[in-house]
Chains A and B, each alone.
Chain A
Amino acid sequence: MYRIVRKEVLAPRIKSFLIEAPEIAAKAKPGHFVVVRLDEKGERIPLTIADYDAASGTIELVVQEVGRTTYQMGMLEAGQYIQDVVGPLGTPMHIEKVDCVVFVAGGLGVAPIYPKARRHYEIGSRVVSLIGAQNKDLLIMRDRMEKVSHEVRYSTDDGSFGHHGFVTELLKEMLDSGAKISEVVAVGPLVMMRAACRVTEPFGVKTIVSLNPIMVDGTGMCGSCRVTVGGETKFSCVDGPAFDGHKVDFGELIARQNRFLAEERLAMEHFTRGIAPEREECRCHQG
């Protein structure tokens, strides 16, 4: 059992959990993730480690409520427990000092990016962060990102903050203006990462993406998270989650993300009925 030390609401439906997991905190590096199972009947889901502190023995997970398990997790409070957390998993990102690294974050993608940006900042790379979301409320972890970036630019789909449009447009602008970029790290929804890779490809700028496909064990045993990279099948859980974005077959990955769409809807309905049983009891139309 893993205790939730602190819970914070970062934005509507986006929550941060500080979790007591000293063994994981001691080993975590930027790019690592954990697999979480909330309770006995729960599914195993991968969550990127957004922050870690070996001294206090905690890791931070940032979760957006998009389905059955993330909704349930969102209902947990400080002092409560998560049944299983295993990690750190995956191959940590290789980070060495470069002249200029540009981070492109879409929505929740800020969370996986933060520890990587911080590390680059610490070792002396110039860090430019481009952070996009649907609207101003969904721009999370701004303070923290600003502390570990030399320059931050924002974009929102609805224009409520920063550039009105997609975050990848900011990236394109930078490249068009002739900015010298050593590498780009893009994390966010699959379509956003694909767009970022399309932007950088003509410029020949190395672009790393961090994938978050459907997993079960998270240790290389089931192949649920397989992805085609450079024509070869890779397992995101052990070979990744970071890959050369120009080599990733995003089309296939987007299709694979929809494998259990119908089941996910069913699970969500089952869950909502369970937490709001009064709906089933409703007799208002029974005269």
Chain B
Amino acid sequence: MPSRVGRSPMPKQEPRERIRNFSEVALGYSEEDAIREASRCINCPKRPCVSGCPVEVDIPSFIGLIRDGRFAEAARKIKEKNSLPAICGRVCPQETQCEAQCTLGKKGEPVAIGALERFAADFERAHSGISLPGGLDTGGPHAGRSNMVGSCPGDGSGGLKVAVVGSGPAGLTCAADLAKMGYKVTIFESLHSAGGVLRYGIPEFRLPKAILEEEIAYVRALGVELRLNVLIGQTYSLDDLFRAGYKAIFLGTGAGLPHFLGIPGENLNGVYSANEFLTRANLMKAYLFPDYVTPIKVGRRVAVVGAGNVAMDAARVALRLGAEEVTIVYRRSRAEMPARREEVENAEEEGVRFALLTNPIRVLGDEKGWVTGLECIRMELGEPDESGRRRPVPIKGSEFIMGVDTMISAIGTDPNPLLPRLTPGLATGRHGNLVADPETGATSIPGVFAGGDIVTGSATVIAAMGAGKVAARGIDRYLRAGNAEK
């Protein structure tokens, strides 16, 4: 019985080795690993894994193709639904999605769907070149456009124009789906390179930028135009875009507004938001300073406050930049940590320490304004709060000082406030998020759609992609209904 075979482990760089480089930690399956792992799938009739995937990838079919050694076809099968498989194979929390539904998981370990997805995408990239729908190859940025199978409503000159704001996972997915339908899509990105959080947030060792480049190249090969250095809201308003002939607009501007703790001393030198720390390292490549000009300063002892994936990323970047001791400071216990288990394990293997049930109350500094320590108080878990997790309660008199020279605040982000602030009539919710119809992505302004973190607040890459997909369908329906004339 194939199901008796254990799950193939993901080969990884040795911890001692990898904390000295920024190369990818997980090395990926070999062909043998992949076939062995794919053979574990029992092809159960209910296919519960598909329902666990926010973008509805036909998981059993692509796994079957891998089992048969038809790797490139497996990649094409994934791409029918997911335009960014090499990314999803790396950063999706499969353990709470597709793999959580896997029938094998009920009695043992589920099929390693994420690792297989990554394998198929990497194989395609390495061996057969990126393929376009309908078997068109990537002959150029607009190769095959006229042959595109799409049948969207046109204005005589081909497909209607749609603007996508933000080139993160939501924007890229929405743009790719609309392009496949035949629309002329332009993505507007405010930074100097595309990818959004995939570019500035997720470090090289978890998602190599070369992979991101390839996935973006694929989206452009579908005919999507990419405009960098354009901040919608400032460079162009939404009205400007409508006036320029865009018939619909998708907003995927993300949750980029960093939270700070609101404790004394947070503006001392040596305190970073995780966004600043990671943007310097990832987008600006400060780990290659001074060859790359952007500086980053990491001290000897670093406290990272928070225990989500971003906190793990920041802690692991700090280690690689030469910090001697990096501690995750978290006010709840291990069980409540929001990071993926895999990322917590990676961090632990690399020597990141965990100060759990510990809450910072003050950053201490010297007379020149530099951080010298972090005053914390120990916590215990009380009654469950509205999130269902047990509420952390301070233990009286348990204050202590942690000697650190750097503090990174990784306690979450809020939706980017800039565009709603600059766009009258765009309805927002309690946390500054855009209000959008979950079925269509429609916002309070006709023709303007939204999805991803800007609507939900900080969530996952795949959830944003799912929202991008929903909005692409919503936009198509809106334009088919004859709203383009408005």
Interfacial residues, chain A to chain B (CB-CB below 8 A): 23-24, 27, 37, 41-44, 68-69, 83-89, 216-217, 219-224, 226-228, 233, 238, 252, 255-256, 258-260, 262-264, 266-267, 270-271
A86-B229, A220-B416, A260-B297 known; A270+B234 contact, CB < 8 A: no
> Which chain B residue has the least Cβ–Cβ distance from A88?
B234
A233 touches B293 (CB 8 A): no
Interfacial residues, chain B to chain A (CB-CB below 8 A): 190-192, 200, 228-231, 234-236, 256-258, 260, 266-269, 272-273, 275-276, 279-280, 283-285, 288-297, 368-369, 416-418
- Classify the secondary structure of B's interface with A: loop
A160 to B484, CA, bound (A): 66
A258 to B290, CA, bound (A): 18
Chain A residues in 8 Å Cβ range of B284: 43-44, 216
A255 to B269, CA, bound (A): 7
* 15 contacting pairs across A/B (C-beta < 8 A): A27-B236, A43-B294, A84-B192, A87-B234, A219-B231, A219-B256, A219-B416, A221-B279, A223-B258, A252-B369, A255-B269, A258-B269, A258-B369, A267-B293, A270-B291
A86 touches B230 (CB 8 A): yes
> Which chain B residue has the least Cβ–Cβ distance from A264?
B295
A37-B192, A223-B276 known; A233+B294 contact, CB < 8 A: no
A233-B266, A255-B368 known; A221+B275 contact, CB < 8 A: yes
A23-B235, A221-B258 known; A263+B279 contact, CB < 8 A: no
A221-B416, A252-B267 known; A266+B294 contact, CB < 8 A: no
A216 touches B293 (CB 8 A): no
A224 to B288, CA, bound (A): 20
* Distance to closest chain B CB from A229 (angstroms): 11
- Classify the secondary structure of A's interface with B: mixed
A83 touches B192 (CB 8 A): yes
A27 to B161, CA, bound (A): 23
Chain B residues in 8 Å Cβ range of A37: 192
B228 touches A84 (CB 8 A): yes
B257 touches A221 (CB 8 A): yes
- Tell me the total A-B contact number using a CB cutoff of 8 A: 123
B235 touches A27 (CB 8 A): yes
* Distance to closest chain A CB from B369 (angstroms): 3
A23 to B284, CA, bound (A): 25
* Distance to closest chain B CB from A165 (angstroms): 29
> Which chain A residue has the least Cβ–Cβ distance from B296?
A263
B289 touches A223 (CB 8 A): no
A197 to B107, CA, bound (A): 71
> Which chain B residue has the least Cβ–Cβ distance from A34?
B229
For the complex of A and B, list the 3 residue pairs with the smallest distance between their C-beta atoms, beginning with the closest.
A255-B369, A263-B295, A222-B276
Chain A residues in 8 Å Cβ range of B256: 219-221
Max chain A Cβ within 10 angstroms of own Cβ: one of B200, B260, B284, B295: B295
Chain A residues in 8 Å Cβ range of B269: 255-256, 258-259
Chain B residues in 8 Å Cβ range of A255: 268-269, 368-369
> Which chain A residue has the least Cβ–Cβ distance from B369?
A255
* Distance to closest chain B CB from A45 (angstroms): 9
Q: Which of A217, A228, A270 is B279 in contact with, Cβ under 8 Å?
A: A217
* Distance to closest chain B CB from A36 (angstroms): 10
A216 touches B279 (CB 8 A): yes
* Distance to closest chain B CB from A228 (angstroms): 6
Chain A residues in 8 Å Cβ range of B280: 216
A84-B229, A263-B295 known; A219+B289 contact, CB < 8 A: no
A88 touches B235 (CB 8 A): yes
* Distance to closest chain A CB from B162 (angstroms): 20
> Which chain A residue has the least Cβ–Cβ distance from B262?
A233
* Distance to closest chain B CB from A175 (angstroms): 31
A229 to B168, CA, bound (A): 32
> Which chain A residue has the least Cβ–Cβ distance from B254?
A221
A270 touches B416 (CB 8 A): no
> Which chain A residue has the least Cβ–Cβ distance from B370?
A255
* Distance to closest chain B CB from A241 (angstroms): 14
Q: Which of A23, A216, A221 is B230 in contact with, Cβ under 8 Å?
A: A23
A223 touches B297 (CB 8 A): no
A24 touches B235 (CB 8 A): yes
A256 touches B267 (CB 8 A): yes
B266 touches A216 (CB 8 A): no
A87 to B191, CA, bound (A): 11
> Which chain B residue has the least Cβ–Cβ distance from A251?
B369
A24 to B190, CA, bound (A): 13
Supplied contacts A222-B273, A223-B260, A256-B267, 20 more A-B pairs, CB within 8 Å: A23-B235, A23-B236, A41-B291, A41-B292, A43-B292, A43-B295, A44-B294, A84-B228, A84-B229, A85-B229, A87-B231, A87-B234, A89-B231, A217-B190, A219-B190, A252-B369, A260-B295, A262-B297, A263-B295, A267-B293
* Distance to closest chain B CB from A123 (angstroms): 23
A266 touches B257 (CB 8 A): no
Q: Which of A224, A227, A228 is B276 in contact with, Cβ under 8 Å?
A: A224
Chain A residues in 8 Å Cβ range of B236: 23, 27
* Distance to closest chain A CB from B453 (angstroms): 12
* Distance to closest chain B CB from A180 (angstroms): 36
A220 touches B418 (CB 8 A): yes
> Which chain A residue has the least Cβ–Cβ distance from B291?
A41
A123 to B387, CA, bound (A): 55
> Which chain B residue has the least Cβ–Cβ distance from A219?
B190
Chain A residues in 8 Å Cβ range of B275: 221-223
> Which chain B residue has the least Cβ–Cβ distance from A90?
B234
A267 touches B289 (CB 8 A): yes
Q: Which of A87, A222, A252, A263 is B258 in contact with, Cβ under 8 Å?
A: A222
B273 touches A223 (CB 8 A): yes
